[in-house]
Chain A
Amino acid sequence: MIELISIHRDFLVGDQTVHALDDINLSIQAGEYISIMGPSGSGKSTLLNLIGLLDSATEGSYLLNQQDVTVLPDGQRAATRSKTIGFVFQAFHLIPRLTAAENIELPLILAGTEPERRRPLVNKAVTDMDLTDRAHHTPDQLSGGQRQRVAIARATIMQPNILLADEPTGNLDQKSGQDVINILEQLNQQGITVIIVTHDANIGQRAMRQIQMVDGRIESDQTLSQTSSS
């Protein structure tokens, strides 16, 4: 499903070139539940952004569903993001002036879905995330856990194959964080490929496959049934 071949991502900082990703080779199958861990600056968020087509590799190839998406025009890149990939961020990134339901509806609007088709999808997402009584509240009227559930509902409203979560529990208390991880696990059980970037070892270890990164390289890549190092 996801095939990264010899991926390099360099950034120019002043006169210096920083190798954020250094020769990454990674193959991810549909339905996997993966955690990416590592210290700050290890390149885990860069890897997530690259998988999410928010960023492009300096070198190497990226195949998504057998299609080379390494270099795509902006329109196709955006369309692929819209249909295939959902994002959950640490900072939620909800639009403050919109209600929970409107935030959830946003990807459907951007995709040009007709209002008649949007309404039942939004209602279902609101119900699934247990937000029925908060649907018409703005983000500032919601708790952190509720905000992240809105963000997850928004990320999954387009029924993507891949859900990318960058420190999804970073701004939450333990209870809310557990709830969010439970939801992500449920989504994975429904067949969605879930990739979580986290600092929290407890959360990372709940994943079927755990990738450890250091200095832009994959240091270890383990699954519950087998162990391999790269």
Chain B
Amino acid sequence: MATSISDIARFSWTALMGYPTRTILMLTAMAIGVAAVIMLTALGEGARRYVTNEFSSLGTNLVIVFPGYSETSGLNPIAMVGTTPRDLTLDDAQVLTRNTNIRRIAPINIGSVNASFQGRSREVPIIGSNSELLNIRHWKLAQGHFLPATDLDRATPVCVIGRKISDELFATQAAVGQWIRLGDRRFRVIGIMASEGRSIGVDVQDTIMIPVASAQQLFNTPSLFRILIEAKTRSAIESVKQSTIEILKERHQGKRDVTVITQDAVLVTFDRILGALTYAIGGIAAISLAVAGILIMNVMLVAVSQRTAEIGLLKALGAPQRQIIRLILSEAIMLSAFGAVIGLLLGELGCFAIRQAFPDLPAYAPLWAVATAIAVSLLAGFIFSLLPARQAARLDPVLALRGK
């Protein structure tokens, strides 16, 4: 009859408790390895989620048009900064609105000017757009109205300001209805933004929005920085993209000089890059698990030499080789399992600390990383204790009883 698993576990437990220093050392090594995998993959996964969330929050079914085009496909950083053989114009944006698959269009112009009110002034980022921007970007108003729904080329002297601008320029005074100076022009404040935080370079609280035609006058430029397009449905995104390219190519004398990207494409690209990054750092952290496994092998070899007489006794009492192997393996696997559990707790604690320190970063270890870390630690414990276990099992009982 074979020794029961509970008896093997109990015997191994007493062996582990009998040598607390080496047990603590091995537990620490394994726990650090597992915690490292969990925390690093949580960081990678957190970064991936953060970036994809940020892109998701740009809007729904979004297609973005940039001036400039490179022959290479995908997201082109050069195109994003804009080498522009031909500018995007308000007329381009106007023509695109005829596409029935498009729900909304928001032409964008950006710049910065000095904003002042009653002696208070500061440099402020300006976004020139139209009434559709609010819905495309899913922003909310705290007070007043957003930009009026007028013709794109109508330069109305109104503005919508961020909460921070309101606090800095107007302090405790009511801002809505007041006239502020932007550069050399005066604009009436018609609304205050409620949306908080940043999204892809735009801090809504620290921005002033004006009609796109007003922005073009203010910055003395006929060109647009971007055109944001919201397709009616998800399935219409691709056709909107293609038709936008075709329409603008036709308008620009048959030359394709714009880059059109979809939100999904950007998301997939970032998702792929950051996902690969998570796997990479998880893999690097897993090396520490292998190191912990080697430590287990070393310490178990020492343990076997420390407990030679005990192994000799077990043989004298009738333990066959396979039972000795089982006892040594179970010790190593118990160590790995306890180390993994401690590492899991430490890792989760570390992730919690990261989330507390950086609330925007959703640092949660992916389930695959947790499962892999635990599986690898158990496997490392098993594999690296095979050698000491076989060595113990092959001891000559007579010599072993003498401690040799």
Interface on A for B, CB 8 Å cutoff? 49, 52, 54-55, 74-75, 77-79, 81-83, 87, 89, 91, 93, 95-98, 102, 106-107, 109-115, 154, 158
Contacts and interface: CB of A to CB of B under 8 A. Distances in A.
Nearest to B321: A74
Nearest to A87: B316
Nearest to B15: A97
B319 to A, nearest CB: 5
Interface of B: 1-4, 7, 11, 14-15, 17-18, 309-310, 312-323, 397-398, 401
A110 B318 contact: yes
A106 B316 CA distance: 11
A97 B318 contact: no
Given A55-B398, A110-B3, A110-B314, A98 B319 contact: no
B94 to A, nearest CB: 86
B320 A95 contact: no
- Chain B binding surface SS class: helix
B310 to A, nearest CB: 6
Nearest to A110: B319
Contacts of A77: 320
A76 to B, nearest CB: 9
19 contacts: A54-B315, A55-B397, A55-B398, A75-B322, A78-B318, A78-B323, A79-B318, A81-B317, A87-B317, A95-B310, A96-B18, A97-B17, A97-B18, A107-B317, A110-B318, A110-B319, A111-B318, A112-B1, A112-B3
A91 B18 CA distance: 20
B20 to A, nearest CB: 11
Nearest to B16: A97
Contact of B398 (A49, A96, A107, A111): A49
Contacts of A75: 320-322
A88 to B, nearest CB: 10
A114 B4 CA distance: 8
A154 B320 contact: no
Contact of A78 (B14, B309, B310, B319): B319
A106 B309 CA distance: 15
Contacts of A158: 318
B398 A54 contact: yes
Contact of A74 (B1, B14, B18, B320): B320
A89 B398 CA distance: 12
Which of A74, A75, A79, A110 has the most CB atoms of chain B within a 10 A radius of its CB? A110
A97 B303 CA distance: 14
Contacts of B323: 78, 110
B309 A93 contact: yes
Nearest to A166: B401
B320 A79 contact: yes
A215 B323 CA distance: 36
A77 B310 CA distance: 18
Contacts of B14: 97-98, 102
Contacts of A115: 7
A20 to B, nearest CB: 11
B17 A107 contact: no
A54 B400 CA distance: 11
A81 B321 contact: no
A93 B3 contact: no
Contacts of A79: 318, 320
A49 B132 CA distance: 95
Contacts of A78: 315, 318-321, 323
Contacts of A113: 1
A89 B401 contact: yes
Contacts of B316: 52, 54, 81, 87, 93
Given A87-B316, A109-B3, A54 B321 contact: no
Contacts of B15: 97
